[in-house]
Amino acid sequence: LCNDKGDSGEKPALIPFSTLQTIYNKGDKLSCLTIATKNMETIEANNNFEKEYRKALGANHRFDPTDNSALWIWNQFTNYLQQQKGMAILRTGIWVIGIFTLLSGIVGVSNIMLITVKERTREFGIRKALGARPGSILWLIIVESVIITTLFGYIGMVAGIGVTEWMNTAFGNQVMDTGGWTTTVFLNPTVDIKIAIQATLTLIIAGTLAGLFPARKAVSIRPIEALRAD
């Protein structure tokens, strides 16, 4: 057996039953039998399997299949479905919170860029008068918006990593005893590189969307009106 603090429990060593009989002199007796099922995705199919399994063992060992005290079965499938449902609800909640937070950030950056465009009206007018193309001004505003969004987004990401590292230092060595096994509550949190890449792409897209409307407003400014602006 291998005791890994980062694992949820002990890792079993799998050996043939005949070898177990020889080494531990167990004979033909089994105290525990673990079964892993395949292609069983509904509670109805799981209950039917358990019913048929009890019927087969009852016929071989001469006990009533409906007598639950004759054969104790710890069926984890229902608990697994409940955990999956809970995780799905949690993921949905995180996505909803993240999307609304991202939208509020887009609106905030967009307002900042609108103020910037208003303050730089004369600059854009001079640029156009000197022959600057609308695409160059559009690109200038969007790049500034992406830089602002990405910079502060990474500041938030680094702050989040710092919080997880603090949690690892404060709670990483705490052990929870479930009665059957022990497990660490919070050990060595990490941020997957895929998540970091996805976050970077999301920040770039959000920055582009935040700067698109102010950039279009800057492009629509006429040089004469811009030069007259205070």
Q: Look at residue 9 in the predicted model and tell me its pLDDT.
A: 52
**Residue (of 226, 205, 229, 197) closest to 109 by Cα position:** 205
Task: Please count the structural domains in the chain.
Answer: 1
Residue 141 lies in a domain: yes
Tell me the C-alpha distance between 73 and 186, whole Å. Answer: 31
Select the more confidently predicted residue: 67 or 31. Answer: 67
Would residue 83 count as lying in a domain? no
Per-residue model confidence (pLDDT) at position 176: 67
Ramachandran category for residue 213: left, alpha or beta (phi over 0 → left; psi -120 to 50 → alpha)? alpha
Could you tell me if 141 and 112 are in contact, meaning their C-beta atoms sit under 8 angstroms apart? no
pLDDT mean across residues, the chain:
78
Residue 210 domain-assigned (yes or no): yes
Q: Which domain holds residue 194?
A: 90-228
Look at the pTM and tell me if it is higher than 0.85: no
User: Residue written as tokens 């938030």?
Assistant: 156
Over range 26-50, report the average pLDDT. 76
Tell me if 23 is assigned to some domain.
Answer: no
- Domain assignment present for residue 47? The answer is no
The burial of 165, by beta-carbon neighbours within 10 Å (0-12 exposed, 13-18 middle, 19 or more buried), is given as: middle
SS3 letters across 173-207: CCEEECCCCEEECCCCCCCCHHHHHHHHHHHHHHH
- pLDDT interval class at 1 (50, 70, 90): very low
Mean pLDDT of 164-179: 72
DSSP, res 2: B
pLDDT at 109 over 50: yes
Please report whether residue 156 resides in a domain.
yes
Could you tell me if residue 209 is inside a domain? yes
When comparing pLDDT for 5 and 25, which is higher?
25
Q: How many residues are recorded in the chain? A: 230
Specify if 169 maps to a domain.
yes
Highest mean pLDDT (candidates 7-16, 72-81, 132-141, 194-203)? 132-141
Q: What is the average per-residue pLDDT within 66-87?
A: 80
